[in-house]
Structure 1
Amino acid sequence: MIELSTYDIAEPVTGDDYGELLRVLAPVATRFGLIVQMPFAVLHEPAREVLERLGGHLVDAMDTQAWPGSQIVGRMTVERFLFRLDAESLEVLVSSASSLYDWVNPMLPEDLHFLRSDGSVVLGTVAQEDDAWLQLTPAEYEGIAARIPRGVVLRRA
């Protein structure tokens, strides 16, 4: 069992700090996920463009009631898309938003999350609630701590 510590991201991550944080975390993750609240969300053009640009990186798409930080009660489901994280898909994420909290339907797919190869969470967000966190091993934290942008405020949970 991997020992993970949770670090809450205490302040909004925007602008250059947003892109830098994603770049710092990318080597820890192999995949990322995005949520589409179907059938209720009619996605706007920017969301459709992001999904189109990421299409070649798609690993899986599924109906679900749970994803990092969220659980739906009842019969409703959402569409969860999982993508391969590489330099090209990372740049789509960086260029498509200016904040972790921009990832909200219908303007963009929702709740960006980064995952390790075993499916465990590296970065989780619940964008509508301005909630974001990291789950890192001690070695991962040590490896990236000095590179985390100064504007990113972490609090150990």
Structure 2
Amino acid sequence: MNNEICRYRIVSEPRRQSLDALLAFCAAHEAYGTLVDLFPSSAKGISARTDFLATAEPSLEFGSVDRWPLGEPENGRIGHSVPLWKFPLTPSFIDILAAKARSLYDWKSPKLPEDLAIYRDNGTVLLGTVSHECIGWLNLSSQEASSPQLGLVEIIEARR
């Protein structure tokens, strides 16, 4: 069986049940996730950040990056440091993710932190998103891609 990892593009945005299925799939296979804190400094942004942190903070590890976590080395530069929140992919944090967002691309400011990403134990990306551009992808083996857990998520293999 081929264990090579290939990129699969998410064709239509996972919403509600399909988002729940996607998060359950990721939780069953992976170790941790990240979100980028790009909340604006407006009153609305500060309020949204405070609301999110009130729920999620006990599980978050706080760091910062000066490159977009999912960007390629040549185009991932941000130009300044931004907060990066790392979290364990536990059932309780999956519940937080599902309660805060109704769809995969809801992860953008000013309402929520940006660009949900989920990583394998070895640090490689399993699920990546660029929410404001409505782009999502999964890096999967052929066996993972055919998993019944992903049955509600429409994916196609990305051609390089």
> What TM-score comes out, normalization by structure 1 length?
0.85
1:68 matched to 2:64? The reply is: no
2:150 corresponds to which residue? 148
1:37 corresponds to which residue? 38
1:93-108 equivalent positions in 2, closer than 5 A = 93-108=97-112
2:61 corresponds to which residue? 59
Task: Indicate if the aligned counterparts of 1:32 and 1:84 stay in contact, CA closer than 8 A.
Answer: yes
Partners of 1:136 and 1:52 in 2: CA distance: 34
1:76-91 equivalent positions in 2, closer than 5 A = 76-91=80-95
SS, match of residue 138 in structure 2: strand
1:69 shift after superposition: 4.1
Deviates most, 19-28 or 68-77: 68-77
Distance change in 2, residues 1:84/1:74 (3 Å): closer
Distance change in 2, residues 1:48/1:69 (3 Å): farther
| Residues 53-109 of structure 1: per-residue CA shift (max 9 Å, x gap) | 222222342233221147454632321111111010010001111000100011100
> What TM-score comes out, normalization by structure 2 length?
0.83
2:10 corresponds to which residue? 9
Partners of 1:47 and 1:8 in 2: CA distance: 30
Deviates most, 54-63 or 92-101: 54-63
Distance change in 2, residues 1:121/1:56 (3 Å): same
What is the alpha-carbon root mean square deviation over aligned residues? 2.2
2:29 corresponds to which residue? 28
How many residue pairs are counted as aligned between the two chains?
152
Task: Indicate if the aligned counterparts of 1:44 and 1:108 stay in contact, CA closer than 8 A.
Answer: no
1:106 partner letter:
P
